[in-house]
Amino acid sequence: MSYSENVARIKEPDYQFRNPVAEDGVALNRLVKASPPLDTNSLYCNLLQCSYFSDTSIIAEDDFELAGLVTGFIVPKQKDTIFIWQVAVAESARKQGLAMKMLLKLLQQPSCSFVRYLETTITEENNASKILFSKLAEILGVNFTRTKHFSSDIHFNGQHDDEVLYRLGPFNTSLLNITHV
């Protein structure tokens, strides 16, 4: 059998997408720790993400194993804006477009029906996230702005890199009917 025939026989994972529950907190915590350069949060913080922010977060599973996650929340003073806190994909699931699929699935959730803008912060050296959110803006057909949001010197006492705010939009989530990425 040729190389291309063998590659064609490899089964692409059939991911299941769902909102997280508190019992997913430990697995979420492990995945984030295994996904540098993401900032690790306390397990308690991850439990809050999986419970209080469940409607604005999504996980992907392959055979009931956590393959990826997107955590976010609706910005309290901007009800039309979702802030994406973290995106992580297990090493075994990378380079398959899973991060983009999770973001698009999340934007299709009922909890995001009023969302017109997406925000996230990215450090300068996190090229994977910069590419991901640039491609998301392209898929949504919108522009994005970048502004320094949290300064290393002012907000992090020099212990963390600057965080740049990416703001995408406006877009209409009711028009999202993207079945492939």
User: Which string of DSSP letters, residue by residue, matches 65-86?
Assistant: EEEEEEEEEEETTEEEEEEEEE
More confident residue, 10 or 25: 25
pLDDT tens profile 51-97: 999 999 999 999 889 999 999 999 999 999 999 999 999 999 999 99
Percentages helix, strand, coil for the chain (3-state, rounded to 5) are 40, 30, 35
Residue 3 predicted with pLDDT over 70: no
pLDDT of residue 164: 86
Per the CB < 8 A criterion, the answer to whether 60 and 69 are in contact is yes
14-175 fold: Aminopeptidase (3.40.630)
What is the predicted pLDDT for the residue at 160? 57
Q: Is residue 86 within 8 Å of residue 59, measured between CB atoms?
A: no
Predicted local confidence at residue 30, as pLDDT: 96
- Where are the chain's structural domains? 14-175
Task: Work out the mean pLDDT of the chain and round it to a whole number.
Answer: 86
